[in-house]
């Protein structure tokens, strides 16, 4: 059970306090520099911040105020998500609703709405006065509308999530419809933030400063980070779906984010985006696995994928958007994916199997090309090309293709496999021996190993073959106390598991499965064990949840399409090469 100590709440309060100090500092700087106009004290305070942000970044103050607030909120929510997932893997259920991690997620998602409001407020105050000497009517930038809708839609998932858990139990799946709604809302927010930065650049008389460009690079790193969050079940090594999803999700995130970044930022843009991503994900991993002492999430590196995109741009150029996107998608899904599989093995993250690799490559290529086309389409209005742009029918086809690829690994079935599980126990742990029937059951496996979790951490062990159908764990695993342990087996669309040890759970009426010297047990769906707390319930909460996420996704897509279509090149583009120098005139646009 979770107990919230004082030091855990410090992680929630400290970033908010720091944010407040930064806001006060920006206002003071603007006031001293002469950016504050006459008027009521509150409007003067906000215009001083806007003046300072424009002076420092070369981007309209309203856009940078909203963008920086949004990046802060998105990062806040991301830490909360990783913290919450790690806790569930290490310790199981919560015993209170407003845990520090849950509070961080809620504050972060509502912070996106707040960031949108900040952008609207500053954009309205930044408008010039009309002939009567008063400000014109409320101004709502399209990018602020998108960001606010993301935050509102994601936050709306919380009551639906409560309904889901009351109907179907306190499961811990990351991909339930309500969890996906709040996760996708937060993960797409950096794209809306980039649209906000670009909308703000359209109003400036010169290019951004070095700081302004660095913030745009950071935003693309946040985009890649956001698109990678849905990989969480694989990052923590407790997947409940086909492992085929892992390469597809890695390639899709890289294809979209890196093609967009290289198109906008110029030469080196994909590499800088990955460096920003590594800083962000490295920070999250340090906080969760180091400072908070939980299971640390692993993550793909994307470095070779970035090099592949840079080479594609160097050889083919980025003017032909479809050609560049297609080549980049293929390169990311082959060379880039191969490097990630090597990284997974060398880092101890897992042991990728060659079984199913041809299908994984085919689906990854399709996902990579489709995602790269979507990434190129997202930014094509920001960087005009002499060649023909992407036609709407091509973009729509890419979106449909990506959805189709994501649907392929969705089925989860059970094969006719039985295991005789033997334990050689020593001080609460045991070396596990598994005899499969039929003996060839694991020959085509994509995943086969032992997992232990919720005893204060997570333990993975490979199963090494020592005879026909007979396997021994590479290390002892916990089989006592609050730990849960099982043998996992995936082959094709069969996602199965057999229990080794499960403690009694009176709260949900579950009996113990003791650690026996030898037990014969059939494999079942892995969720029968991983989601032991799940229960059957009425159909209407599921219908409401799926309808809610479908509606929200449709609204988000429509708003993104509208906002992206209104992006125009900056009035004075900075040139064809990426540089962090230069800057605007020191007079804010009013």
- pLDDT for 440-477, tens place per residue? 999 999 999 999 999 999 999 999 999 999 999 999 99
Coil, strand or helix at 419: strand
Residue 255 has pLDDT above 90, yes or no: yes
Query: What DSSP string describes 210-237?
Result: HHHHHHHHHHHHHHHHHHHGGGHHHHTT
User: At 578, is the pLDDT very low, low, confident or very high (cuts 50, 70, 90)?
Assistant: very low
**Average pLDDT of span 384-412:** 90
Residue 452 is assigned to a structural domain of this protein: yes
Report CA 417 to chain centroid distance, whole Å: 35
pLDDT at site 489: 97
User: At 36, is the pLDDT very low, low, confident or very high (cuts 50, 70, 90)?
Assistant: low
Total count of domains within the chain: 3
Rounded to the nearest 10 degrees, the angle between the axes of helix 269-285 and helix 210-228 is 60
How far is the C-alpha of 471 from the C-alpha of 464, rounded, in Å? 5
Going by C-alpha positions, the residue among 240, 263, 331, 344 that lies closest to residue 301 is: 344
Going by C-alpha positions, the residue among 116, 252, 109 that lies closest to residue 185 is: 109
The CATH number linked to 440 is 2.60.40
Residue 132 has pLDDT above 60, yes or no: no
DSSP-derived pairing of the beta strands 494-501 and 524-525: antiparallel
How far is the C-alpha of 316 from the C-alpha of 314, rounded, in Å? 6
pLDDT at site 33: 67
Residue 209 has pLDDT above 50, yes or no: yes
Is there a single domain that holds both residue 196 and residue 47? yes
For the record, the structure tokens of 238 come out as: 């407790």
For 524, counting Cβ atoms within 10 Å of its Cβ (0-12 exposed, 13-18 middle, 19+ buried), the class is: middle
How far is the C-alpha of 314 from the C-alpha of 327, rounded, in Å? 12
Is there a single domain that holds both residue 275 and residue 347? yes
Q: Please report, in angstroms and rounded to a whole number, the separation of the first and last CA atoms in the chain.
A: 54
DSSP element (H, E) containing 501: strand 494-501
Going by C-alpha positions, the residue among 367, 268, 386 that lies closest to residue 325 is: 367
pLDDT at site 580: 41
Is there a single domain that holds both residue 214 and residue 138? no
Coil, strand or helix at 123: helix
Residue 181 is assigned to a structural domain of this protein: yes
Residue 577 is assigned to a structural domain of this protein: no
For 455, counting Cβ atoms within 10 Å of its Cβ (0-12 exposed, 13-18 middle, 19+ buried), the class is: buried
Q: Are 243 and 553 in contact (CB under 8 A)?
A: no
Q: Are 360 and 247 in contact (CB under 8 A)?
A: yes
Of 196 and 386, more confident: 196
How far is the C-alpha of 588 from the C-alpha of 590, rounded, in Å? 6
Q: Give percent of the chain above pLDDT 70.
A: 91
Is there a single domain that holds both residue 391 and residue 461? no
- What is the extent of the structural domain holding 393? 209-411
How far is the C-alpha of 206 from the C-alpha of 173, rounded, in Å? 48
**Average pLDDT of span 139-160:** 93
Of 382 and 64, more confident: 64
Is there a single domain that holds both residue 466 and residue 325? no
Residue 534 is assigned to a structural domain of this protein: no
Is there a single domain that holds both residue 124 and residue 250? no
pLDDT at site 590: 28
Of 7 and 563, more confident: 563
Residue 542 has pLDDT above 80, yes or no: yes
Residue 254 has pLDDT above 90, yes or no: yes
User: At 585, is the pLDDT very low, low, confident or very high (cuts 50, 70, 90)?
Assistant: very low
Query: What DSSP string describes 429-498?
Result: EEEEEEEEESTTTTTT-SEEEEEEESSSSEEEEEEEEEETTEEEESS-EE-STT-EEEEEEEETTEEEEE
How far is the C-alpha of 161 from the C-alpha of 8, rounded, in Å? 24
How far is the C-alpha of 165 from the C-alpha of 252, rounded, in Å? 30
Respond yes or no on whether the N-terminal peptide bond of residue 438 is cis (omega within 30° of 0). Answer: yes
Q: What is the DSSP letter of 173?
A: -
Residue 416 has pLDDT above 70, yes or no: yes
Query: What DSSP string describes 56-110?
Result: HHSS-HHHHHHHHHHHHHHHHHHHHHHHHHHHHHHH---SSSS-HHHHHHHHHHH
How far is the C-alpha of 374 from the C-alpha of 147, rounded, in Å? 19
**Average pLDDT of span 333-340:** 96
Residue 582 is assigned to a structural domain of this protein: no
Among 411, 443, 476, give the residue marking a domain's end.
411
Task: Report the mean per-residue pLDDT for the chain.
Answer: 89
Q: Are 569 and 194 in contact (CB under 8 A)?
A: no
Residue 587 is assigned to a structural domain of this protein: no
Residue 85 is assigned to a structural domain of this protein: yes
Is there a single domain that holds both residue 35 and residue 150? yes
Is there a single domain that holds both residue 108 and residue 222? no
How far is the C-alpha of 251 from the C-alpha of 418, rounded, in Å? 35
DSSP element (H, E) containing 418: strand 418-426
Q: What is the DSSP letter of 513?
A: B
Rounded to the nearest 10 degrees, the angle between the axes of helix 142-155 and helix 157-168 is 20
pLDDT at site 130: 43
Query: What DSSP string describes 20-67?
Result: HHHHHHHHHHHHHHT-PPSS-HHHHHHHHHHHHHHHHHSS-HHHHHHH
Give the 3-state DSSP-derived string for 120-185, with helices as H, strands as E and coil as C: HHHHHHHCCECCCCCECCCCCCHHHHHHHHHHHHHHCHHHHHHHHHHHHCCCCCCCCHHHHHHHHH
What 538-544 contacts at long range (C-beta under 8 Å, 24+ apart), as own/partner pairs, is: 538/167, 541/163, 541/164, 541/166, 541/167, 541/168, 542/164, 542/167, 542/168, 542/177, 544/160, 544/163
Among 411, 446, 464, give the residue marking a domain's end.
411
Query: What DSSP string describes 344-377?
Result: HHHTTS----STTHHHHHHHHHHHHHHHHHHHHH
Is there a single domain that holds both residue 445 and residue 555? no
Q: What is the DSSP letter of 383?
A: S
Is there a single domain that holds both residue 204 and residue 230? no
User: At 387, is the pLDDT very low, low, confident or very high (cuts 50, 70, 90)?
Assistant: low
pLDDT at site 28: 81
Is there a single domain that holds both residue 4 and residue 83? yes
Residue 585 is assigned to a structural domain of this protein: no
pLDDT at site 589: 31
Q: Are 203 and 128 in contact (CB under 8 A)?
A: no
Dihedral class, residue 289 (left if φ above 0, else alpha if ψ from -120 to 50, else beta): alpha
User: At 131, is the pLDDT very low, low, confident or very high (cuts 50, 70, 90)?
Assistant: very low
Q: Are 511 and 504 in contact (CB under 8 A)?
A: yes
Report CA 284 to chain centroid distance, whole Å: 12
Is there a single domain that holds both residue 203 and residue 298? no
Report CA 143 to chain centroid distance, whole Å: 20
How far is the C-alpha of 63 from the C-alpha of 44, rounded, in Å? 18
**Average pLDDT of span 17-40:** 74
Among 394, 411, 428, give the residue marking a domain's end.
411
Going by C-alpha positions, the residue among 299, 309, 229, 302 that lies closest to residue 269 is: 309
Of 257 and 162, more confident: 257
pLDDT at site 135: 53
């Amino acid at each position: 059970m979770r107990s919230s100590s004082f030091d855990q709440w410090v992680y929630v309060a400290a970033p908010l306090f720091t944010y407040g100090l930064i806001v006060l500092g920006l206002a003071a700087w603007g006031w001293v520099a002469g950016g504050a106009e006459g008027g009521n004290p509150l409007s003067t305070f906000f215009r001083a911040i806007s003046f300072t942000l424009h002076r420092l970044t070369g981007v309209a103050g309203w856009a940078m105020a909203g963008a920086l607030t949004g990046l802060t909120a998105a990062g806040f929510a991301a830490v909360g998500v990783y913290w919450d997932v790690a806790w569930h893997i290490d310790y199981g259920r919560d015993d209170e609703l407003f845990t520090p991690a849950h509070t961080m997620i809620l504050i972060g998602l509502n912070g996106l709405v707040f960031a949108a409001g900040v952008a609207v407020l500053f954009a309205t105050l930044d408008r010039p006065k009309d002939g009567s000497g008063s400000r014109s009517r409320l101004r709502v930038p399209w990018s602020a509308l998108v960001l606010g809708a993301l935050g509102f839609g994601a936050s709306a998932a919380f009551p639906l999530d409560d309904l889901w858990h009351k109907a179907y139990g306190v499961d811990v799946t990351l991909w339930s419809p309500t969890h996906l709604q709040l996760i996708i809302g937060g993960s797409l927010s950096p794209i809306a933030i980039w649209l906000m930065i670009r909308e703000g650049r359209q109003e400036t008389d010169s290019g951004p400063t070095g700081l302004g460009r660095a913030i745009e690079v950071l935003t693309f790193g946040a985009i890649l980070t956001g698109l990678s969050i849905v990989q969480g079940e694989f990052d923590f090594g407790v997947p409940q779906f086909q492992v085929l999803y892992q390469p597809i999700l890695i390639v899709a995130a890289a294809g979209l984010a890196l093609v967009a970044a290289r198109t906008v930022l110029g030469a080196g843009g994909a590499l800088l985006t990955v460096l920003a991503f590594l800083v962000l994900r490295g920070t999250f991993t340090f906080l969760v696995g180091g400072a908070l002492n939980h299971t640390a999430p692993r993550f793909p590196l994307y470095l070779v994928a970035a090099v592949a995109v840079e080479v594609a741009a160097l050889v083919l150029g980025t003017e032909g958007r479809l050609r560049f996107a297609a080549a980049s998608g293929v390169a990311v899904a082959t060379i880039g994916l191969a490097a990630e599989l090597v990284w997974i093995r060398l880092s101890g993250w897992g042991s990728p199997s060659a079984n199913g690799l041809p299908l994984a490559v085919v689906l990854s290529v399709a996902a990579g090309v489709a995602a790269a086309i979507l990434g190129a389409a997202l930014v094509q209005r920001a960087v005009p090309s002499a060649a023909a742009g992407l036609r709407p029918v091509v973009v729509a086809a890419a979106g449909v293709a990506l959805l189709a690829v994501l649907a392929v690994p969705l089925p989860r079935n059970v094969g006719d496999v039985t295991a005789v599980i033997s334990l050689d126990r020593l001080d609460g742990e045991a070396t596990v021996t598994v005899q499969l029937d039929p003996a060839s059951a694991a020959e085509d496996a994509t995943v086969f190993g032992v997992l232990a979790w919720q005893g204060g951490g997570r333990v993975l062990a490979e199963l090494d073959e020592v005879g026909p159908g007979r396997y021994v764990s590479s290390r002892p695993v916990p089989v006592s106390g609050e730990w849960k342990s099982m043998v996992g087996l995936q082959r094709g669309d069969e996602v199965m598991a057999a229990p080794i040890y499960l403690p009694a759970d009176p709260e949900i009426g579950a009996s113990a499965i003791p650690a026996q010297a030898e037990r014969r047990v059939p494999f079942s769906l892995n969720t029968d064990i991983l989601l032991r707390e799940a229960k059957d319930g009425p159909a209407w909460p599921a219908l409401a949840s799926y309808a809610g996420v479908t509606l929200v996704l449709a609204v988000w897509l429509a708003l993104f399409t509208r906002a992206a279509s209104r992006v125009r090149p900056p009035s004075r583009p900075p040139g064809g090469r990426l540089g962090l120098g230069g800057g605007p005139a020191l007079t804010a646009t009013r």
